[in-house]
Amino acid sequence: MKRTVRKTVVSVGVGAVLVTSLAACGDSVVKQSALQTQVKEKLSAVSTQTIGAVKCNGDLTAKVKKTQTCSVDVAGSQKKVTVTVNSVSGKTVQYGITKVGW
State pLDDT tens for residues 26-72: 678 889 999 999 999 999 998 899 999 999 999 999 999 999 999 99
Q: CA angle, 20 as apex, 17 and 21 as ends, to 5°?
A: 145
Per-residue model confidence (pLDDT) at position 2 = 46
What CA–CA distance (Å, rounded) separates 28 from 62? Answer: 5
Per-residue model confidence (pLDDT) at position 26 = 62
Residue 62's identity, in one-letter code, is: A
- State the chain's mean pLDDT as an integer: 79
Q: Residue 101: pLDDT band by 50, 70, 90 thresholds?
A: confident
Q: Could you tell me the residue range of the domain that residue 26 belongs to?
A: 16-100
Count of domains observed in the chain = 1
Q: Residue 93: pLDDT band by 50, 70, 90 thresholds?
A: confident
> Residue 11: pLDDT above 70?
no
Sign of CA dihedral 5, 2, 62, 88: positive
Residue 10 lies in a domain: no
The closest of 95, 33, 102 to 73, measured between CA atoms, is: 102
Residue 58 lies in a domain: yes
Q: Residue 88: pLDDT band by 50, 70, 90 thresholds?
A: confident
Residue 69 lies in a domain: yes
What CA–CA distance (Å, rounded) separates 43 from 62? Answer: 21
Residue 5 lies in a domain: no
What CA–CA distance (Å, rounded) separates 64 from 86? Answer: 5
Residue 60 lies in a domain: yes
